[in-house]
Amino acid sequence: MPRTPLPTRAALCAAVGVLFGAFGASVGAGPSAGVVTPGRASVGDNLPRPNIILIMTDDMASTDLASMPAVNSLLVKQGTRFRHALTPFSLCCPDRVTMLTGQYAHNHGVLGNDTSSFPMGGYAGFSSDSNTVATWLHDAGYQTAFVGKYLNGYGENAAPARVPAGWDEWHASRGGNYTYVKLFENGVDHIYDSVYVPDLETKIAKGIVVRRMPEGPPLFTWLSYYGPHVGIPTDADDCNNVHGLGVKSPSPAPVDRNRFANVPLPMDPSFNELDVSDKPAAIRALPRLDSVTADCLAEVHRQRLETLQSVDRGVSAIVSAVQAAGELNNTVFVFTSDNGYMIGQHRVMQGKVLPYDPSIHVPLVIRGPGFPAGVGRSKPVATQDLAPTFVDLANARAGRALDGTSLVRLAQDGAAEATRDIVLEAGPQTIGGPMTFTGLRTRKYTYVEYATGEKELYALDVDPYQLQNVAGRPAYATIEKTLAAELSRMRNCSGSGCLVETPY
């Protein structure tokens, strides 16, 4: 099938991953394709460069967005929603570094959280943090600020806390939970006890907006919330307290507890999948979920939605602060998550680092100049597109070959950008070992290869819940061969080599 380069715009954490320890595919570094430096003529050459506020949650499923009234009224209805936003590596640290660099993990080199399950990476593994979107925007004249969770392992053991290059204000967590946190703030440790951490994160970010936004230079702020990631303290109705099944949940603010007590657990056709005989061995080994476990997962889901209410109020507070500063019409708000989350789909109790859509789908909404209100876009976009978008808006210059593309033009014209393949990755589980899997997510297909020789192919137009693995079926032989060849080319792609039109 014909492929032509996409137009670049010169003017524009994991429970289930352990199951896959036997899988792998070699890690390699693709050749550099040169620095891609888009401008922002499409936003308006004579307009002032906008403030940019990135608001990110941790482990939020894209379907959780429906539970957040402020985000929906202030961002979704007033901005552009990207309905098929994906994370190419559905794990905290690799995806956050992709946000910082605009690169796939196979290029920035952070391939795990530096844990026993995914040891290659973490904060200590990000050796090039002096060349990120923060430095690019700072060099372009932006004020920059960070609040919340940075990279896994930040300030721990052999990776002492420091303020990375490019940040004017720095308030990064170096350990804590929902009611206690140690923040490394502009070079000094501060301990906050008996607080609700997401509310504290909002308070700090709001203070930055109030102090810095009226000063004149545009402001780039990254607010990285702790919720709805699992965490203590435990609550009386936690599944572990009631049944002791090892299911983990977050801790909602007291004001939000039981707010969603009557909300059922979503059960799409992939929930507790009846027949997994076509899945990889690790999924085939999972037992079906019993009713007690399903009840536990329902409570986990409710607590996740309840925890997100503090984030929702935080979004409202930040938007109000920007409005009070007189900058609402010149501020781009970006709302997303570092990865998706699975609760019961394909028999997985809870987790991520899997190639299935609940794991790789993330919410992504952008409001502000250049992003039309109340619009939805359906073409696949991904985390590596955020840094190019920020570079575009700021009229900055990137210091890396960017594997993504600015979303400004796609937001303005849904037909403007061609459909392209998104590489899916999961890192090695031994130092220097092979990747767990690599694959492609296109508009119509998910294709995945494991080093075990197992493959998965799902025709999403007829099987959106990924129930029928059609790899090896004669009717799909041609497309499987095409996708295999494309993955062979793409798994180590770099720069413009990652931006390729495909008709599938």
What mean pLDDT is reported for the chain? 89
Looking at residue 471, its pLDDT comes to 98
427 to 14, 27, 101, 256, 387: CA distances (angstroms)? 12, 9, 18, 36, 22
pLDDT for the residue 417: 64
Angle between helices 92-101 and 386-394 (to 10 degrees): 30
Per-residue pLDDT band at 24 (split at 50, 70, 90):
very low
- 199 vs 117, higher pLDDT: 199
In this predicted model, what pLDDT tens digit does every residue of 297-345 receive, in sequence order? Answer: 999 999 999 999 999 999 999 999 999 999 999 999 999 999 999 999 9
Euclidean distance between the first and the last CA atom of the chain, given in angstroms as a whole number = 9
pLDDT recorded at residue 42:
46
Between the alpha carbon of residue 309 and those of residues 57, 66, 166, 319, 503, the distances in Å are: 12, 11, 31, 15, 40
Residue carrying the six token digits 């965490």: 231
Going from the N-terminus, what domains does the chain have, and what CATH number goes with each? 16-410+419-498 (3.40.720.10)
pLDDT over threshold 70, residue 120: yes
Buried b (16+ CB within 10 A) or exposed e, 225-241: bbbbbbbeeebeebbee
Three-state SS string across 60-103, please?
Answer: CCHHHHHHCHHHHHHHHCCCEEECCEECCCCCHHHHHHHHHHCC
* Average pLDDT of span 451-477: 97
Side chain identity, residue 400: R
Measured CA to CA, the distance from residue 44 to residue 333 in angstroms comes to: 18
**Amino acid in position 125:** G
Residue 381: which H helix or E strand, with range?
strand 381-382
Closest CA to 100 of 404, 395, 436, 419: 404
pLDDT per residue as tens digits for the range 167-195: 999 999 999 999 999 999 999 999 999 99
Q: Which amino acid is at 436?
A: T
Q: How confident is the model at residue 160 (pLDDT cuts 50, 70, 90)?
A: confident
Question: Is the pLDDT score of 36 beyond 50?
Answer: no
Question: For position 418, what pLDDT does the model report?
Answer: 61
**Contact between 359 and 92 (Cβ < 8 Å):** no
d(CA 385, CA 390): 9
Cα separations (Å) of 253 from 52, 130, 232, 298, 428? 28, 36, 12, 18, 36
